[in-house]
Chains A and B, each alone.
Chain A
Amino acid sequence: MLLRRLDCLAYWIKLVVKTSMIYNKRVLLQIIRTLVGFAAMVFVWKALIANGIRVDVTLDTLILYSVLSTVISCLVQTNAISGFFQSELISGNIAVRLTRPVSMEAMAIANVIGYSINGLMVYGLTFVVAVSFFIRVSLDITFLSVLAFLGCLFMSCVVFMLIDFICAYICFCIHKGSTIEHLIEAIFMAFSGQVIPLFLLPEWFGNISMFLPVRMVYEEPISILLGITPQEQWGGVFLREAVWIVVLLAVTLVMKSVTRRKVFVQGG
C-alpha cells in the first residue's frame, strides 16, 4: 500500500515537472528576468564597493551571495502549497480531494518537490551556466562548509514548506489566500535576505530577523557557505533551525485539525 502511494507521488512529481516545462516562452521569460535581476544586483554591489562599503565583505562575496540567493529562490517555490490548496477550495474540488486515498498534504508536497526539481534543473542550472560565462569569483569554500550548507539548505526547505502549509490552512478560513501570500512575500522580501543580505542592513533590523523563521531560508545557509557565519556558530544555526521546524510543525498540525472541520464545499 505504501509503495503504491509512493509510486503515485513519484508519478505526480514527474507530471508537475513535465507540465512546468510545457510553456517554453514562460521558461525563457523567467530565465531572462532572473538574469536581469541578478545583473542589477551585481551593478549595485559594484557601486557599493566603489563607494567604500562599511561592512567587511568583498565584491566576490556579494556576487556569490546573489548567485546563491537566486539559485535558492529557484529551489523554493513561493505559494506552491497555498496556491494548490486555494485553487482546490475555490473550485470546490476540495470535496473530491479529501476523499482520495492519497492525502492532500502528500499531493501538495509532491507538487513542491516537482516545482523545486523543475526550478533547480531548468532555471537554477541555466542561470549558473549563463552567469559562469560572465563572472569569475574566487572564494575559499571548504568541503565541510559545502556539507553544512546543504544540510542547512535542506532544513530551510522544510521551514519554507511548513510556512507555506500554514498559509494554506489559513486559506480554509479566509477563502482568499492572495492577501496572506502577499503578507508572507513582504516578510520574506524584508527579513530573509533574499534580495539584500541582512549584514548590509542596520544591526537592529538584523536583530528583528533573528526572531523570524524566514531568515533561515536565505541568509543562514548562504552565510555558512561564504564563511560569514564562523564555524563555531554553525551549531547554533542548526539548533535554531531545528527549533523553528518543531514549532512550525506543531502549528501546522494544530491548524490542520482545526481547519479540516471548517471545510466549506461550494455546491453545484
Chain B
Amino acid sequence: MKIFHNISVLFSMMKLSIKSALIYRVSFVMDIITSIMMFTSEFFVVYLMVDEMNEINGWTKEQIAVMYVITILAGAIEVFFTDQMRNFSNKILWGNLDLDLVRPFHPLLRTMGDVSFSALLNVVIFSAVIITYITITVPWLWTFRNIVVFVISVIGGSLIFSSITIFSCAISFWTFDSQFFYRLVKQGTRQLLWYPMDIYNKIIRLVLTFVYPLAFVSYYPSLVIFDKDTHGVPAAFCCSSIFIGLVLCSLAVGLWHIGVKKYEGSGC
C-alpha cells in the first residue's frame, strides 16, 4: 500500500515539475531547439566520418547511429529522474536534507520528483528522427527480437547511469561533493561510448565491462541487435543491462542508507 502511495506522490510531484517548466514557454522551446542542435552536430560529425570511411572496425554508420541513440536515450531517462540529485551535496551542506528526512517520503524519491522534462523531450525528438531515418535505410532491422533488446538496453542503460548518480549522492555524505564521481564516470567516459568498444584496447574494454559496466548500456546489446560476434559472451548476458542496473542501483541505495545513518546534520 505504501508503495502505491509513494508512486502516486512521485507522479504528482513530476506533474507539478513539468507544469512549472512549461510556464516559461519560450525559454523551454529555445532550450529544446538548441539542445537538439547540439546532439545533431555531435552525432552528425561522427556519422559523416564513418560514412566517408565506409565503416569503422566492421561497424557501419547505421549501427553506430543505433548505439548512439541507445546511449543518449538511456542518458536522457537518467537525467529526467536524477537531474536534481547532482546537487545533493548542497542539501547536506546547507542543512536542507534535515527537512527532507522528517518528511513522510523517501528523500531520494523526493529529489526524483523534481524532473528535468526538457532534457528528456529533446533527446526523444532527436532519437525519433534518427530511428525513423535508420528504419528507412535498414528496414529489416526492427524485428520483434531487436525491438525488445533495444527497449531493454535503454531501460537497463538508464538504470546503470542512474546508479552512478545515486553512488555520487551516497559518496557525498563523506566527501560533500556529489559531482566528482558522476563527472568522472559518466561524463568522463561519454566520448568512449560513442564508438564500438572493440576499437579500444583490452584495458579499456575490461574497465568498461567489469569495473563500471557501461559497455552493457549500448555496446553488448548492439552486438545482439546486429548479430555480431559476441566474443564468447552469451547473448542473454549481453542483454542483462536491466539486471546489472538494478544490482548497481541497489548497491548505491544501500550505500546511501549507510551515509544517512552517519549523517549528523549541518543545518543553518
Contacts and interface: CB of A to CB of B under 8 A. Distances in A.
B40 interface: yes
A179 B32 CA distance: 9
B52 A29 contact: no
A36 B53 contact: no
Contacts of A200: 49, 52-53
Given A36-B188, A179-B31, A182-B35, A51 B55 contact: yes
Contacts of B194: 40
Nearest to A174: B30
A47 interface: yes
Given A43-B201, A179-B30, A189-B45, A25 B56 contact: no
B132 interface: no
B200 interface: yes
Contact of B53 (A39, A53, A176): A53
Nearest to A36: B188
A82 to B, nearest CB: 14
Interface string A175-193: 0101110110111011000
A178 B37 CA distance: 13
B57 A51 contact: yes
Nearest to A34: B188
Contacts of B33: 179
Contacts of B128: none
Nearest to B31: A179
Given A33-B187, A43-B201, A176-B30, A205 B35 contact: no
Nearest to A203: B52
Interface string B227-253: 000000000000000000000000000
Contacts of B52: 54, 200-202
Contacts of B53: 48, 51, 53-54, 200
Contact of A47 (B45, B56, B184): B56
Interface of A: 25, 29, 32-33, 36-37, 39-41, 43-44, 46-48, 50-51, 53-54, 176, 178-180, 182-183, 185-187, 189-190, 195-196, 200-202, 205
Given A32-B184, A40-B194, A200-B49, 12 more contacts: A29-B180, A29-B184, A29-B188, A33-B184, A40-B195, A41-B191, A47-B56, A47-B195, A48-B49, A182-B37, A185-B38, A202-B51
